[in-house]
Structures are given as structure tokens and as C-alpha cells.
Amino acid sequence: MARTFTEAAIAGIGATEFSKASGRSELQLAAECAKAACDDAGVDPRDIDGMITFTIDNSDEITLARCLGVKDLAYTTRIPGGGAAAAATIFQAMALVNAGVCKNVLIWRAMNERSQYRFGQPSTDFKGYTNGHGTGTLLWNIPFGAMTPASWGALQAQRYMWKYGLTNADLAHVCVQQRKYAATNPKAWFYQKPITVEDHQASKWIVEPVLRLLDCCQESDGGVAILVTSLDRARDLKQKPVRILGACQSIPYNVEVIANFHHADMTEMPEAKGVAKRLWEMTGLKPTDMQAAMLYDAFSPHVLLQLEGFGFCKPGEAAAFVKSGGMAIDGVLPVNTNGGLSGEAYIHGMNSMAEGVRQIRGTSVNQVTKKSVEHVLVSSGMAGAVLSKD
Amino acid sequence: MTDVAPPPDAPKPIRLPPIVTMESKEFWEAADREEFIGQKCSDCGTFRFPPQPMCAHCHSLKREDVLLSGFGTVHSWCMPRHPPPFGFREPPIVAVIQLQEGTRFVSNVVGVKIEDMRQDMEVEVCFEDTMNKHKVPVFRPRGK
């Protein structure tokens, strides 16, 4: 294979149903969504030559490759940082195709994260917080009762909210909007179940005074896969190619996923600012060139922090932006139009990446129509990508 | 620290003991002696947390554990309520403590009601017992 720079594109997306009890193994979910992504693209699964997942995914790549009949795997890797890996998988798949070392890169994430184990419960299994997972300081929090992502996320967000005079009620608008999107998305767990600000305020405290139940992402079973190939090849396949115009990771000094307590200014998300800087440089684009954004929403404040980190809003102004309808379908920047991880499902960010692809293709159930969708930002905080029309 | 010994009928500690790694061993052993220590570069004097083998400032491998002032401010805080964290009879106040020496440490603020929590309030270290006869540093309002 000539190793010349090769433009990359997303040719296929696939998913299982999103549920609370899949009734089958994570490996099966992985195989099903991988096959679905290949079918969507019109690529034979046997021709996959690169495989990327998250370090904490439980399905083994060789076993999955065996299910798919992969003939000759050229590259495998896993990305640390929990859900922060989501957009990083797209970045690394792009880089492999750019470098001319892979033709068909499969990205997958499959989990029984409700029926088999629950990220939202206090952890008794600490191997997730040790080496290779990008979560090195979490072990230090356990004796103090900070044992869940919600508690770490709340600690991260509380100073931001205090600085800008926000209370939990100000977060409600993020959640209400995402559930509005989910309500019209038949694939969403919360299909036809919108909420009001009052519902949000009546939901129980998860972490007082920052997060209520409805500020939190779901716990879900399911799998999502994405197939990345060259732009030229994608043009000959079944779907309209979705170009990966730019993608990157950014992990600035002393930044850590979720337990992000040690960098200089806790009222901002330096990783999102770092991703934004690289992405805008790489693509020559700017926030106003995006017609939609899919922002990792483990917890509602992180949507606000990313809106500010990427430069869609000035520091402290994202809550007012959302309240005024900024992230609605006819707003300045429709965000998480699938319902996000709180409304559609929590497949560790990958389901929102797939929604970014659908917005570019023009096939979302909540398609942005006010403007022609040319560019969509997908972000998982420590990584991001700009997807574009061919 | 001059904590009074618990009365004989005090309930047994249920707080989880720390998870000790090669890098954190000295810290938790000091906590058992009711000493709140930090790691400092022996060459350039930069404090760091968490403990690590190399100084990010000058890349020296020389390091020393020094007794910290135990004074700090509440930089960020919250109260995990649901699901209840293991090791507590009442929901704890968890806080990021900005230490006087410049590093931050996640701990608890004790002896304060949630309605009395204030951003940047001054706190000082004290120690609480865990299961298996260990101790961990927690913080209380300064001078109280």
C-alpha cells in the first residue's frame, strides 16, 4: 500500500437497540453493531483491517475479529479516559487512514452497562481506576465518599456554577431540551417521554447542590460501531460519505478525565479548549461554521462547559444561551439532537457520534433543516472531530 | 492534632480504608500517624500531588516527604446523596481543598452543615478513623 496522505471519511454506522437489559453478551452486542456498520457502508466485515475501542470495553478485539471473519488485521488500539475516548476513536481511525496504513477501520463500543454492571453505583471494583485507564487520581477519592462519576462530575462543576451564580435550576434547560429531542427519536430510551423544568426540579438529588437525577446520563445496554475508510473509497460505497475534516485529542497538563481537580482553573474545561484550538487550526473553521454539535453529556454542566470551551459561548454565558433556545432544533447551535446520553442512551458517547454522522447525511429523525448542515462538531471533551459533507 | 480518644462505646469506624499503591504508601502511612504530608522536589522545591517519581518542573528524581501546614480553603464541594457512598452513616461533604502549599486534595469537610458551607472557607486538617485501623486526613473549619 502506498503510504501517501489519504483523506478519511465515515462510510458506515451501526447500532443495536438501546435498552436496560440486552439479554445477550457484550461480545454479541459488539459483533451485531460492527456487522450493522459494515452493512450500512456496504463493506464486507472480512475486509476490516483496523480495530479501535476504549480501554474499558470488555469485548476482546481478536475474539470480535474472529466473529467477523476479519482476514488480516493490520492495526489495533484502545483509548483511555472512559467516555473521553469516544471522539478520540474517530481521530485515531482518521489518522490511520490518513497515513495510508489501514483501509477499513472499525470503531466499536458495546456494553451491558445497566444489566451487568452500573457506572452510577459506588465502585467496589477499582481496576477501572488504575493504570491504562487515564483515571489515576480517582483512587485517592474513594475513602472520602466520592465513588461515582456523578460525585466527581459535581465536584468539577460546583466551582464553575458558583463563579457564575448558577444553581441546579439553571441546568434544567439542558435536560429539558435533550429530552425533547429524545421524545421524537424512536431509538431513544425516553422516546415520547419529554420532561418539564418542574420535573427536573422534582427529581431527587444525586449530588447536592449540583446534580439531580435528570442531570445525569442514563445507564444503558447496547453497542455502537462506526466504519472509517478513505474518502475515495467511501464515494463508491452505499452511503453519502461523511468527511472527517479534522479530528484531535487534547489532554493539557494536570488534566484528568472526570476527576479534573488539579489543573489551574476549575471553572473551565482546558481539554475542550485544547481540542477546539487544534480543530479550528486544522480545519480553518470556527464555531459559527458549525450547524450542529454533539457534546458528551455525562452530566448537564459538562454541556455548558463544552459550549464555552469550544467558543460557542463566552465563559459563564452557556446557561443563558441554552435557556434562550440556543441548542434547540431551530436555535443557533442544535446540540445532541438524538437526545444525548441522558435522552437517547449511554453508549459511552458513541451514539452521539453516530448522530453527528446522520446530521451530515441528512437522515436524523431530528434533522436540522433551518440551515444546510455542512459541518458538525462531535466532542467527548478530551477529543473532537469536525464532520462535513463531501 | 489533639483529637480526643473516642469513648469506648463509640461505633466502629465504617469508612473505607485508603487504597495503597507504591506511590501513595508514604502518604497513607503518615496519615496513620496523624501526619498530613506532601511530596516536594528536593532539587527545585516544587510541591506535587499526587505523589510521583519525577518532578514535572525540573525532572529530578530526588524527592522528599514534608509535613504540610494542614491549612487550606474549600475550592469546590458537594454532598453525594444517591446512591449513598459506602462508609458513611450520614451523607458526607466532599471537597476539593486548595492547600496552602499550592496543590489540591480531595477530602471531606467535617463539623459543618451543608447550609453553612461557603466557597473558599478556611479549613484545617484533622484525622478520622477507617476500617482496619487506618486514618485519613479530613478538614474542619479553621480555628473551630
Cβ neighbours of A197 (radius 10 Å): 14
Q: Is A253 on the interface with B (CB under 8 A)?
A: yes
- Mark yes or no for CB contact B78/A137 under 8 Å: no
A137 vs B contacts (CB less than 8 Å): 50, 106
What confidence tier does A370 reach under pLDDT thresholds 50, 70, 90? very high
Instruction: Of A292, A304, A362, give the one whose Cα is nearest residue A333.
Output: A292
pLDDT confidence of residue A127: 65
Residue B80 to residue A141, Cβ atoms within 8 A: no
pLDDT of residue A125: 65
pLDDT at position B144, please? 59
| Bond preceding residue B141 cis, omega within 30 of 0 | no
Contacts of A136 in chain B (CB under 8 A): 50
Distance from CA of B7 to the nearest CA of A (A): 23
Please write the tens of the pLDDT for every residue from A63-98.
Answer: 999 999 999 999 999 999 999 999 999 999 999 999
Per-residue pLDDT band at A137 (split at 50, 70, 90): confident
Q: Is A160 among the catalytic positions?
A: no
Q: Which of A107-116, A292-301, B9-18, B129-138 has the lowest mean pLDDT?
A: B9-18
Q: Please indicate whether, in this complex, the C-beta atoms of A266 and B75 are within 8 angstroms of each other.
A: yes
Which distant-in-sequence residues (6+ apart) come within 8 Å of B94 by Cβ? A141, A144, A145, A146, A151, A155, B77, B78, B79, B80, B106, B107, B108
**A177 touching chain B per CB within 8 A:** no
Cβ <8 Å between A266 and B96: yes
pLDDT tops 70 at residue A124: no
- Do residues A52 and A106 touch, judged by C-beta distance below 8 A? yes
H helices within A112-230, ranges in order? 149-163, 168-183, 197-202
Beta strand A205-208 with B104-108 is unpaired
The values of phi and psi at residue B100, to 5°, are -55, -30
- Grid coordinates of B138: 479530613
A198 φ, ψ (degrees, to nearest 5): -65, -40
The parts of chain B modelled with pLDDT lower than 50 are 1-2
Which amino acid appears at position A197 of this protein?
A: V
Query: Which residue, among A322, A355, A357, has the nearest Cα to A336 in the 3D structure?
Result: A355
The answer to whether the Cβ–Cβ distance between A148 and B81 falls below 8 Å is no
Q: Is B133 exposed, middle or buried (0-12, 13-18, 19+ CB in 10 A)?
A: exposed
Least confident interval from A42-56, A135-149, A234-248: A135-149
Q: What b-and-e string marks burial along A232-271, b requiring 16 or more CB atoms within 10 Å of the CB?
A: ebbeebebbbbbbbbbbbbbeebbbbbbbbbbeebbbbbb
C-alpha cell at A38: 459494515
pLDDT at residue number A2: 64
Tens of pLDDT along A200-211?
999 999 999 999
Prediction ipTM score: 0.94
pLDDT band for position A259 (cuts 50, 70, 90):
confident
Q: Rounded distance, CA B65 to CA B39, Å?
A: 5
Return mean pLDDT, chain B: 94
Handedness of CA A362, A79, A50, A274 (dihedral sign): positive
A296 is an active site residue:
yes
- B75 to chain A: closest CA residue: A159
Q: Average pLDDT over chain A, rounded to whole?
A: 96
Q: How far is A353 from chain B (nearest CA, A)?
A: 29
pLDDT at B100: 97
